Amino acid sequence: MKKKSTGGYDPEVELAKGANLTAASYDKTQKISVTAGKVTVGGKTGIVVISELATGKLEAGIDGTIDLWLSIFRYKRPDGTTDHVAGWNIPLALKPKQAPLETAKAFAAYINAGTRPYKAKAAGNKSKATMTIVFTKK
């Protein structure tokens, strides 16, 4: 949604705006942490680190899942319009003994297939993985 607004455009201020990235693990063994918690319009990348093999989802409920959240935010474009970027909650059910790299790749595939203005890349190995998320809309 774009809304015409009055006032000046300050690139330093607007390019620093972005989504807050948070994460939580509801798995007994697989952990997730956010090492860079802001995904900005100006290209600052959000980074999460995933470690340990997963216990996995064994029954109904939240146990055995990992979640990522990208918050809602607004920014002004150079033409004076304001863009509203919707928030995004991404839950992922884990399989027993799922490796961190598998989890990171599953999140990246979901983000990259979505219609939101984000792209993700996964890297790592069986014991530790990182995933980077960038804002892609210009």
Domain locations in the chain?
2-135
Q: Which residues of 5-21 are buried (b: 16+ CB within 10 A; e: fewer)?
A: eeeeeeeeebeebbbeb
- Residue in the block written with tokens 């990235």: 21
When the pLDDT of each residue in the chain is averaged and rounded to a whole number, the result is 93
Comparing 97 with 3, the larger pLDDT belongs to 97
Torsions phi, psi for 41 (to 5 deg): -60, -35
Residue 3 has pLDDT above 90, yes or no: no
* Average pLDDT of the segment spanning 57-77: 94
DSSP structure class, residue 14: H
Residue 1 has pLDDT above 80, yes or no: no
Residue among 75, 73, 74, 72 nearest 87 (CA):
72
Per-residue pLDDT tens over the stretch 27-62: 999 999 999 999 999 999 999 999 999 999 888 889
Q: Which two tokens stand for residue 67?
A: 């979640």
The answer to whether the predicted template modeling score (pTM) of the entire model surpasses 0.85 is yes
Residue 17 has pLDDT above 80, yes or no: yes
| Amino acid symbol at 26 | Y
